[in-house]
Amino acid sequence: MKKIKLALLFVCLIAFCFVLYKLFLRYEYQKTISSKINASDLVDASCKSINPDKIVYVENLSLDNFTATGMTYDTKSNSFWIADHGTNDFDKLKLIELNDKLDSIVNIVEIENYTNSNSNNLQGITYDKSNDSFWLALGSQIQEINRNGSVINTLKVDKFSDYQFNGICYDESNDTLWVLCFNKYLINVDKKGNVLKIYESNFADQDMICMNNGLIYMTVGADYLGENNYCIAFNPDSEEYAVKYQLLNSYAVEGICFLDNSIYVVNDGMFHNAKIPKTYISIYND
């Protein structure tokens, strides 16, 4: 009888510690939200205000219930892929492949068994040329899918899942992934989910990332009616952030990618009822 009581006491103690741990995580999460940095406060003379040379309206492609999030460039097919979160509950989560001129649909891929729900928050996407696959940031987890939309790998990275995996990009220099959490962190992980590097990144409305010439570029901003939307560059070697561009006429910034001398930024203006209330891609030449 004494052993049973001790066992029950031990179970209760473990449960109590678990509750305290969850409360601590919630406290840290709330503290993180209250200490976010506004990108506009870091703008200096080195920040360039750029206007798009061209705007492509995705609605012209006749896509229904389209809500754009992440964006990536497929070097094998020379095409762009945009993640489609959908607009209604239980919409199928999809990837839309567009040709390199962004004027026609090449393919629409439904992600295996996924619909728009709180547990499957489709955000960032990146092309992995080493596996000819795509990695997705899904809020609480990271998944790799093939070109048919079948899931072939899942990374949970539990320690950081509470901070919401949002942006993701493949680093071909060392065959790893960079993941931007919506709150507090930018992390570098291998393809088994092991965390290699951790950096604090706590900009208000930090969103998607891509890699270009060794730097990580992120879209930041939710000024749907104004011009306080930016692209921030992070140098992993110096661990320094710089507000690189003010993205004019991009009122609902989401995914970003670089190709040759151009910067492509997808905007989800329809969903956010932004100044330009449409889903569109701004193309900037720097």
* N-term to C-term CA, the chain: 76
Confidence (pLDDT) at 29? 45
| C-alpha to C-alpha distance for 131 and 127, rounded to whole angstroms | 9
| C-alpha to C-alpha distance for 114 and 129, rounded to whole angstroms | 24
Pairing, β 240-247 against β 48-50: parallel
Question: pLDDT tens digit string along 180-230?
Answer: 998 889 999 999 999 999 999 999 999 999 999 999 999 999 999 999 999
| C-alpha to C-alpha distance for 207 and 254, rounded to whole angstroms | 6
65-69, 100-104, 184-188, 267-271: least confident range: 65-69
Confidence (pLDDT) at 162? 81
Question: pLDDT tens digit string along 41-60?
Answer: 999 999 999 999 999 998 77
Confidence (pLDDT) at 229? 97
Confidence (pLDDT) at 7? 57
DSSP secondary structure letter of residue 278: S
pTM to 2 decimal places: 0.85
For residues 132, 137, 141, 142, the Cα torsion angle rounded to the nearest 10 degrees is: 20
Confidence (pLDDT) at 216? 98
Confidence (pLDDT) at 66? 78
Measured CA to CA in angstroms, residue 193 lies from 149, 167, 175, 179, 249 at distances of 20, 16, 13, 11, 37
133: phi then psi, degrees, rounded to nearest 5: -140, 180
Confidence (pLDDT) at 32? 43
Question: pLDDT tens digit string along 75-84?
Answer: 999 999 999 8
Instruction: Please give the radius of gyration of the chain, using alpha carbons only, rounded to the nearest integer.
Output: 20
Confidence (pLDDT) at 61? 76
